[in-house]
Chain A
Amino acid sequence: MNPLIFTTILMTVLLGTMIVMMSSHWLMIWIGFEMNLLAIIPILMKKYNPRTMEASTKYFLTQATASMLLMMAIIINLMHSGQWTITKVFNPTASIIMTSALAMKLGLTPFHFWVPEVTQGISLTSGLILLTWQKLAPMSILYQISPSINLNILLTMAVLSILVGGWGGLNQTQLRKIMAYSSIAHMGWMTAVLAYNPTLTMLNMLIYIMMTLTMFMLFIHSSSTTTLSLSHTWNKTPLTTTLILITLLSMGGLPPLSGFMPKWMIIQELTKNNSIILPTLMAIMALLNLYFYMRLTYSTSLTMFPSTNNMKMKWQFETKRITFLPPLIVMSSLLLPLTPMLSILD
């Protein structure tokens, strides 16, 4: 793609999300979502083959449906409250429809079916943008309407997402699908605490984005999209095997690493609000996630995956320059001691 056009379209994706996050008028928010959707389609279709076309079409259809539902919720809200400012949503019907629309945009269960298929069909860099940047806009709207969201629907969707994200990722060997299911599960964690303490949603989003960025950049660095291909990184850059190990365990939420911080805070916040069964279930289901991360680390860093002799040499392409990889790795693994800093968020 012509670099100038590509830059313009990428900037429009950024502009769309910025408009969603900055606006106080519901119509502008809807316009921001549409601008974001329109501009990300050619980015998803950067390589022209039938898989990317199909993935972009699926993404467009689901997101457009979600935008239509959002518009209907906005109009119902207008009908019952008579104003367009984004505060809490005054009508329960509008609130439920809006929550469903934003859940469709995020990829929460029961609207999660597009996430693995779309992520698998596009290139790694496009998948990176899809799973990190595109989550910011809907999450910011959920944050703003969080006082009025129906708790039953939200918690059901969250718990089911963690379940689906855990179980769905178990049978996958394609790395992009694994990251997609991991995204579904993390979205579930984020929305579970939304009604209790939305700040923790933002914290979880921040740490999730850092970890997902790191993982995708490590995949891009070793040009691997399958588990088999990832298991040959010991041959190309042995250091990245250790980094993959650390980052994957951090994504699984293991204690000395920074991925533990959001889970810990979320469980603490939920138990402070007298719900015990829910965080227990969530923590147990996070083990499913941990299992397939462990399987990846097992084949990548802990063992030399069995392969024939001529496959042991990985073809060395010119090393891609990965922006910011060292700071990202540090941030996605060593942030846990900084947890007391969260008190500034009050």
Chain B
Amino acid sequence: MMTYIVFILSVIFVVSFVGFSSKPSPIYGGLVLIVSGGVGCGIIMNFGGSFLGLMVFLIYLGGMLVVFGYTTAMATEQYPEVWVSNTTVMGVFLLGLLMEVMLVLYVLKSEEVGVVFKFSGVGDWAIYDTGDSGVFSEEIMGVAALYSYGAWVVIVTGWSLFVGVLVILEVTRGD
């Protein structure tokens, strides 16, 4: 099972995305986001990115999602919608689950079947550790490269975040 852990985690990832895309109340969406954040962290760590996984937990779950949870708690209604309370929500959730199950069965067929993508069995998803890059960790070097060669990316994303706040304030300000 450990060889195919990335595949299993990715299935849980997609299922939790389906869980909040079927639009229950935001509180339950936030709950499912926590699960998907944790599972996403697991996927990243399996590729050797322990620093990025930690950042997911700290910044994404512990920073942004906490703020989201507080604001949702302030704006919530008396009987928030769960997945089973509304037929539409449950229908969409089941549809998403069904499509994921079909995809999983399709991946698990060990011959190469090509519809849009060619999956050649679950072997595609196993991580092969070549053991080459043992001198330095790739993802720490990637983070370092972001702040040296990728300075333009930092400027652009920083500016986008700043303008994002401005835009949100403008839109919600009203007259």
**Complex partner residue of A48 from B152, B166, B175, CB under 8 angstroms:** B175
Q: Is the CB of B156 within 8 A of A9?
A: no
How far is the CB of A18 from the nearest CB of chain B, in Å? 11
Residue B63 is within 8 A (CB to CB) of chain A in the complex: no
Within 8 A of A (CB), among B141-170: 152-153, 156-157, 159-160, 163-164, 166-167, 170
A56: nearest residue on chain B (CB-CB)?
B171
Size range of the interface on A?
10 to 19
Q: Is the CB of B167 within 8 A of A38?
A: yes
Within 8 A of B (CB), among A12-40: 12, 15, 19, 28, 31-32, 34-35, 38-39
A42: nearest residue on chain B (CB-CB)?
B170
Chain A hits for B163, CB < 8 A: 8-9, 12, 35, 38-39
Residue B131 is within 8 A (CB to CB) of chain A in the complex: no
Q: A8-B166, A12-B163, A93-B116 are in contact. Are A42 and B156 (CB under 8 A)?
A: no
Contact with B along A287-315 (1 / 0, CB 8 A): 00000000000000000000000000000
B163: nearest residue on chain A (CB-CB)?
A12
Q: Is the CB of B160 within 8 A of A34?
A: yes
Residue A341 is within 8 A (CB to CB) of chain B in the complex: no
A9–B160 alpha-carbon span in the complex (Å): 10
- How many residues of chain B are within 8 Å of chain A by beta carbon? 15
A28–B155 alpha-carbon span in the complex (Å): 12
Q: A12-B159, A38-B160, A93-B116 are in contact. Are A28 and B153 (CB under 8 A)?
A: yes
Chain B hits for A32, CB < 8 A: 156
Chain B hits for A48, CB < 8 A: 174-175
Chain A hits for B167, CB < 8 A: 9, 38-39, 41-42
Q: A28-B153, A93-B116 are in contact. Are A15 and B159 (CB under 8 A)?
A: yes
- Which residues of A approach B to under 8 Å, CB–CB? 1, 5, 8-9, 12, 15, 19, 28, 31-32, 34-35, 38-39, 41-42, 45, 48, 93
